[in-house]
Structure 1
């Protein structure tokens, strides 16, 4: 697939290499990689963006905030927000790994908001564009973590997101590739080509359960789920 600039004839591998070059620059400037986001894992997001396969990007320490944070919309170009099921790894995860191995590597699970933004301000982007721009990942708000038990079926987790008290999106864990752990397994197959592996302590966003919502000043975002603690973000 080519990108917004077809004369460049960019491939997915080219896009991930561009992403990796930018990661290396940020790390050289002092940033620390604290995890990864997996995107476009639900039909709602694939239909919204017009892309039919997942992608991934990096999470850096300066991008992460906690539930209850206040965010300035003016610091972004054209931001959007998603509600995600997220993991924190309890041990290194080899690549590639199957579902059982992925489940056993997760120490904690929690709700998260992902802040999406991109240099393509009209959001008319291809998969190549999105990947090259760190899969549009601009920020992460993490909720209170809960210890994960391998018997927990996250596919049945029902998530509801609200903006100023009005329902903004709903979904279930199974909306993420049928099982959020399938997204994590997909990531273990994707990262070796980038020379990257998953480490204990890494945050992993499995993907949104609903279509993204514009992030505008004056909005109070909240999300609840069946068993995970709620999450809150105020936008000014």
Structure 2
């Protein structure tokens, strides 16, 4: 696992050297549905780069990817630095500047069959692309009860509540901060955090339009070429 984290950081450093910028982090495998789908029983995390962001008015070119799948998620932007192995959930709540819906496209250079936790970590927690909806200022309260619906070409493909993310998506951010503390880092003001999916991932195909929506947050939309 130590080697996997070193490989993840080295891969990120290569992309940064090529002009990309780190804009945040993703937490993966936070729901029972995702853990069951891949046979992995604990979360992992990866880095978000500006080169992974897809504007909802643009199209994702699926030919650039290997085995893409998509997930509907809750996401946050932090307004203050957050660090420490003993960070509290209350500190996390106070540090949230805005709340989003998000779609994450996961991908694996190994394919997903037989994927291990070490494989996932080394491959940046399988993060390939992401789309953010319009943000809502501050922390939307009681997100564990927020019901997310993911549609593909207007047909419901999956759904789930925020509580699927470690019981409360704030716990996902706290898990991340504690994980980063082991490497002597933390979250920086302005960082985006994808907290995790509320449902099992969905295969992504050319020609699809994928939308995640919920009662209190603006939708996020991904168009696939």
TM-score normalised by structure 2 residue count: 0.96
Does 2:192 match 1:232?
Answer: no
Instruction: List per-residue Cα deviations over 1:107-150 (Å, max 9, x = no partner).
Output: 00010011111111243210000000000001111110001247
Structure 2: runs of 5 or more not aligned: none
Does 2:178 match 1:189?
Answer: yes
Does 2:153 match 1:164?
Answer: yes
Determine the structure 2 residue equivalent to 1:13. 2
Counterparts in 2 of 1:98-117, with a 5 A limit? 98-117=88-107
Determine the structure 1 residue equivalent to 2:207. 218
- Counterpart-to-counterpart distance in 2, 1:23 and 1:62: 11
Give the C-alpha shift of residue 31 in structure 1. Answer: 1.6
Determine the structure 1 residue equivalent to 2:58. 69
Superposition RMSD on alpha carbons, in Å? 1.2
Does 2:132 match 1:142?
Answer: yes
- Counterpart-to-counterpart distance in 2, 1:191 and 1:99: 15
Given candidates 175, 179, 203, the residue that maps to 2:168 is: 179
- Counterpart-to-counterpart distance in 2, 1:149 and 1:121: 35
Instruction: Check the 8 A contact 2:54/2:60 in 1, yes or no.
Output: no
- Counterpart-to-counterpart distance in 2, 1:227 and 1:122: 33
Determine the structure 2 residue equivalent to 1:7. none
Instruction: Check the 8 A contact 1:20/1:194 in 2, yes or no.
Output: no
Instruction: Check the 8 A contact 2:103/2:131 in 1, yes or no.
Output: yes
Determine the structure 1 residue equivalent to 2:116. 126
- Counterpart-to-counterpart distance in 2, 1:65 and 1:71: 7
Poorly superposed stretches of 4+, deviation over 6 Å = none
Structure 1: runs of 5 or more not aligned: 1-11
TM-score normalised by structure 1 residue count: 0.91
Instruction: Check the 8 A contact 1:83/1:223 in 2, yes or no.
Output: yes
